[in-house]
Amino acid sequence: MRVTRLIACALCALGLAIQPLSAQDVVTPQAKPGEPGASAPNAALPDDPALLNAPAAPDTPPPLGSLLGGNAVPGSSTPVVPYAPAITPDTGMPGPSTLSPVYLVARLAEDGPSLTDGVRWRVYANTPNDQGKLELVATAQGGDADFRLAPGDYFVHTAYGYAGRTSRIAVRNGLTSQTVMLNAGGIKLDAQFSGQQPIQTGRVVFDIYERDFDSRGERKLVAGNVKPGAIVRLNADTYHVVSRYGAVNATVRADIRVEPGKLTEATVYHNAARVTLKLVNQSGGEAIANTKWSVLTPGGDVVVEGTGAFPAFILAAGEYQVIARNEDKLYSREFEVNTANHGEVEVLTSSLLKQ
């Protein structure tokens, strides 16, 4: 009879611990700045730069429903760890545990749904260790997070793509629950030729920078080589976006605002084309190999250089001069690039440049 009663007590304790929390059970502590539980979006953690610069799988697109404020799928992709008090040898009854359950939820905006995927959680000790660094205590990845932590104060870094926020939590005996407002959104970029013509030749990528300059007069790169159509998750802010078409001088710049809880879609327009250079003895003739090329501006500044019989470059619309060198002889001609007008530029050997 005594054994049956002990088993029943242990099963009751386990059942209470794994009972799922409803949305109404999750609350956001209303703490004053500087107090335990207060959120610190830009808090710098001493000697731990990795904490604030660790995006959660930025190459994985976020769920569009979350970014656009759609309905979230109930549940969590982070497994819940069962928790029950240990049996003490003296009494045979459950005794107090040294760990407390901690339940964390992330949202992009105040009125948005909780994120169910793509969130990375890192929990750090509140004070530096002997090496002057904050010790990583626990991690989780997925949607909401369920930890077992000893009572005390902690830093929690929540990352969602390139968006991130650092918060303080105070763990006490019993359940600690907190909702982290990331104040973040998404951006989706595309590029076309002026006149809304699709770009089908060449490669377009985007670089996303902070809008403000640092002390050295440079902008900090947030995300580089972003492909058209990819969704990038960012903290709500205004960013300086550079669209690069090809690898020479066809670039477009724009400042774009990311709103919390929203997906911002933006299209930039390029004025450029792809040109292929040929040195020939006569118009339409065979290209001469082992030729070195220099493309210059009308003022004589070098735009790009190359070697070969058929070098191809994507150039911004405008006027250029090309110089071909073959067997110590120089040949030259002027040409113009028009938007989306791809083609060949032939340099005749009869256009010998006097040296």
Q: Tell me what the mean pLDDT of segment 265-284 comes to.
A: 97
pLDDT tens-digit profile of 115-163? 999 999 999 999 999 999 999 999 999 999 999 999 999 999 999 999 9
| Calpha distance 132→206 (Å, rounded) | 38
272-348 shares the fold of 35-182:
yes
Q: Tell me what the mean pLDDT of segment 50-78 comes to.
A: 37
86-90, 109-113, 122-126: least confident range: 86-90
More confident residue, 353 or 196: 196
pLDDT at 114 over 90: yes
The correct answer on CATH 2.60.40.10 for the domain covering 272-348 is yes
Query: Which pLDDT score is estimated for 353?
Result: 81
Mean pLDDT in the chain? 80
Q: Tell me what the mean pLDDT of segment 289-303 comes to.
A: 97
Give the closest residue to 67 by CA, choosing from 112, 111, 106, 2. 112
Query: Which pLDDT score is estimated for 231?
Result: 97
CATH numeric code, 185-270: 2.60.40.1120
pLDDT at 192 over 50: yes
Residue 349 contacts residue 324 (beta carbons within 8 Å): no
Q: Which fold has domain 35-182?
A: Immunoglobulin-like (2.60.40)
pLDDT at 58 over 70: no
Give the number of other Cβ atoms within 10 Å of residue 144's Cβ.
23
- Percentage of the chain lying above the pLDDT 90 cut: 69
- Percentage of the chain lying above the pLDDT 70 cut: 72
Looking at residue 164, its amino acid is: G
| Calpha distance 75→270 (Å, rounded) | 44
Q: Tell me what the mean pLDDT of segment 196-219 comes to.
A: 95
Query: Which pLDDT score is estimated for 84?
Result: 40
Query: Which pLDDT score is estimated for 355?
Result: 62
Give the closest residue to 165 by CA, choosing from 222, 122, 113, 103. 122
- The torsion angles phi and psi of 150, rounded to 5 degrees, stand at -70, 145
2: helix, strand or coil: helix
More confident residue, 250 or 81: 250
- CB environment 195-209: b (16+ within 10 A), e (fewer): eeeebeebebbbbbb
Residue 161 contacts residue 58 (beta carbons within 8 Å): yes
Residue spans of the domains in the chain: they are 35-182, 185-270, 272-348
